[in-house]
Amino acid sequence: MSESSSLSIASPALSASIASEGAELWSLADAEGRDLLTDADPRWWTGHAPLLFPFVGRSRGDVYRLDGREYAMPQHGFARRKPFALVHQSDAQVTLRLEADEGTRAVYPFDFRLDMDFALDGPTLRMTATVSNMGEAKMPFAFGYHPAFAWPLPYGGSVEDHRIAFEKSEPAPIRKVGHEPGLIAHETFPSPVEGDTLAPTHAMFEGDALIWDDLASRSLTWGVPGKPHLKIDFPDTPWLGLWQKPGAHYLCVEPWAGMADPVGFTGDVWDKPGIMALLPGDARSFRMDVTLVAN
């Protein structure tokens, strides 16, 4: 990321940089400069924290259907590859905006606005995405976050010592990717969570992401018990994905409002799991807070 495309904000406890391309959180560090996000080792994945819009996950055949027409759509949508305009910046806050243009309308025929706000408040990074319908037609959309947090975090303890601790017990079955790459299997799988705690391993992700579509929690922690860790709140997104390339130095904690097509899906976009309808003139916001908790 070049200096010209990097926007920096800071608080006494945290610093962050955001790329104007995709409004992607590029780095998050503590007061001592220790990285809390992925090292983006190209052997695994060079992403950091892409935004998923206007759809989450893959459409079957990388196309979706709307009113009898087919439109091309890459996995996780196009926002992560588009330049965002700077709306506002201060020492601890920045807002970036993506609006519909000729290129987006060719694949997504709606007049949208996506504002992405990042604000540092002491040990907390507050991220808020606001999707607005600026047009005259009801707009189908989904939204998701995809940040890759360091695994291990820089506070001691092995990879194996790290835990996801959910806000509530999570006994419900989960979903996984099926035999069509990137699409959701129809069958469910037993929850790997014991009570409210998940002990992730690299082997868990050999078949791609783990997906919770019956999630009780809207908050979790990530780290080694008894050491500084991250508290992650996602009050506006009902589903969650966890993902990594097995062996990489990150774990993606992905709050979603929407998900990929099911295996074999041939329906209209309005029948896609998790699709939301935004009426003309309306807006909807999705918040994700990341707090560094010192033990």
pLDDT for position 1 = 44
| Alpha carbon distance, N-terminus to C-terminus of the chain | 33
Domain boundaries, the chain: 3-156+244-293
Q: pLDDT tens for residues 193-216?
A: 999 999 999 999 999 999 999 999
Cα–Cα dist 16/130, whole Å? 20
Percent of the chain with pLDDT over 70: 99
**Average pLDDT estimate for 274-291:** 98
Q: pLDDT tens for residues 260-281?
A: 999 999 999 999 999 999 999 9
Q: Is the pLDDT of residue 2 over 80?
A: no
pTM: 0.96
Q: Is the pLDDT of residue 77 over 70?
A: yes
Instruction: Give the mean pLDDT of the chain.
Output: 96
User: pLDDT class for 295, splitting at 50, 70, 90?
Assistant: confident
Percent of the chain with pLDDT over 90: 97
Tell me the DSSP string of the chain. Answer: --GGGEEEEE-SSEEEEEETBTTEEEEEEETT--B-B----TTT---S--EEBS-SSPPGGGEEEETTEEEE--TTBSGGGSBPEEEEE-SSEEEEEEE--HHHHHHS-S-EEEEEEEEEETTEEEEEEEEEE-SSS-EEE-EEE--EEESS-TTS--GGG-EEEESS---S-BEEB-SSTTSBPSS-B----BTTEE---GGGGTTS-EEESS---SEEEEE-TTS-EEEEE-TT--EEEEE--TT-SEEEEEEEES-PPBTT--S-GGGSTT-EEE-TT-EEEEEEEEEEE--
pLDDT for position 126 = 98
pLDDT for position 3 = 39
pLDDT for position 62 = 97
User: pLDDT class for 5, splitting at 50, 70, 90?
Assistant: confident
Identify any residues that bridge with 28 across adjacent strands, giving them in sequence order. 16
Q: pLDDT tens for residues 178-193?
A: 999 999 999 999 999 9
Q: pLDDT tens for residues 129-169?
A: 999 999 999 999 999 999 999 999 999 999 999 999 999 99
Tokens coding 74: 């890459």
Domain 3-156+244-293 classification at class level: mainly beta
